[in-house]
Amino acid sequence: MKLSGTEIVIECLKRENVKVVFGIPGGAIMPLYDTIDKKATFAHILTKHEQGAVHAADGYARATGEVGVCIATSGPGATNLVTGLANAYLDSIPIVAFTGQVISPLIGTDAFQEVDITGITLPITKNNYLVMDVKNLASTIKEAFYLARTGRPGPVLIDLPKDIQFAKTDFHYPDKDKYLGYRPTIRGNLNQIRKTADAIHEAIRPIIYAGGGIINSNATNELQALVNKTHIPVTTTLMGLGSFPENHDLSLGMLGMHGLYYANTAISEADLIIALGTRFDDRVTGNTKQFCPKAKFIHVDIDPAEISKNIKVDIPIVGDLKYVLTKLTQLVEPKKETEWLNRIAELKQKYPLQYQRDNQLRPQYIIEKLYELTKGDAIIVTDVGQHQMWAAQYYQYHQPRSFISSGGLGTMGFGLPAAIGAQIGCPNKKVVCIAGDGGFQMNIQELATVVKNKLPIITIIMNNGYLGMVRQWQELFFEKRYASTSLDGSPDFAKLVQVYGGKGVKVYTKDALDETLKEALSDNQFILIDCIIPPEENVFPMVSPGKAINHMLGENKS
């Protein structure tokens, strides 16, 4: 059966069980869009910007665990995907992106809307392809999906010249799912796992430091089984939120620059750190020379490049966390270090999260009220900034894939389009997008996508009139010189969303927020809640740059 290149793409996406793609058409990708219109079995969501499309595919992938798919045309369409691909790459999110390209004879001539997108994205994709022969297209797509979802997940890009989209060939979808030179290690070394079990047995003050790898490998149950047997307290990274239920007695919540004081203090006192699916990011470690000086380090990760990259480890294990934790739980002896757990309880009681509780509408109160009303049964999607940290600190995450945020790249403008992807991927879940008034305006055009597709996303804007996190640093480290951080001239968001055809409400008080949130959660339609908060509210605790993580500012602020 001979199929055109575009028909091959459609058939391959069907074989990969793709349910939805996000994108925008243009000249070089028009043949594919014509075939999508005629023959696709999946839904297509037209976003208003290509960055919106790739962030939506990212949010879809994080919420569902499936590969997100996006499409853009050549030139500016392709380059508009770059930030989103980098975002997915740093957070290990599986995406397959298709881009149009000029006809193959014109490649390298600086033709209209031609860019070398495979060259541009080489450092920020797991792999990428320029398809120059339609006979290779089906196998390329098969390989792209396999690479995106296996091992350490990540984005893959396929560039499609326009003539290749029209060309025809016999269609055959490969059966193989392994490729030369790519062999992720799934089964961790058993001797190293035994050494880990022995180290746990010998430790007096052990801590599990869990990252997004737990969620990517679907190993949350295995982590809980290990904790139930060993009674080791767990702290998580930003990307690891939801990997261990935060209402559990052994949860320490998030650690790092804006982590909880007792989490940072406890890990600094630990004698054994079991790092699971995390990369010892600088926002976690602070000054690496002063990071947990009393501890022995165990590091389990599917990516061997991460082992001892930032922190030298004593027991490295390369492997899939689901496999390694299953084996470790079988081998480890039951234990409970009562004195250590008493110390943890003491720290929690002495240094709880605190903020000024008064009649003002404060951001911490907003997050607490949201948790109280949802009881953790929601997908929280954030943009990047102060609101992101408040959402990480004051909402309790019980389930994996319930917290979606840009971690490694810290991409402002991520929140709204990612919430679109999450809501489409999980239509029966309540999706709440939390954004700042700065980042929200970076992809504000996706309000049209929300309204057009009748997506019941609750969007909360923490509106302080500033680029809040930058302003906080200017206050603390630049003598309050608020250089170019005031957002004077921002629109009235509640009125603006009404122009798009949605519902917008502006709230100034706790009572107004309570009433609006209750109504929004009982409704099943999109609403934007513009919360006017104090302009100089800061995120605390905070580790100053260059300091050890147990040296924190405002740890007991009241």
Q: Which amino acid is at 494?
A: A
Q: How far apart are CA 342 and CA 364, in angstroms?
A: 28
Residues 385 and 467: beta-carbon distance below 8 Å: yes
Cβ contacts of 265 within 8 Å, gap of 6 or more: 347, 351, 550
Q: How far is CA 197 from the centre of its chain?
A: 31
The structure tokens listed for 16 are 């990969």
DSSP letter at 334 equals: P
Residues 238 and 260: beta-carbon distance below 8 Å: no
Work out whether the CA dihedral 345, 346, 347, 351 comes out positive or negative.
positive
Q: What positions carry a catalytic annotation?
A: 50, 112-113, 162, 469
Q: At what angle do helices 363-374 and 510-522 cross, to 10 degrees?
A: 30
Q: Which amino acid is at 385?
A: G
The structure tokens listed for 464 are 């302080």
Q: Which amino acid is at 281?
A: D
Residue (of 26, 34, 49) closest to 445 by Cα position: 49
Q: Which amino acid is at 63?
A: A
The structure tokens listed for 533 are 């908060």
First to last CA, the chain: 71
Rg of the chain on CA atoms, in Å: 24
Q: Residue 23 in 3-state DSSP?
A: strand
Q: How many CB atoms are closer than 10 A to CB 373?
A: 16
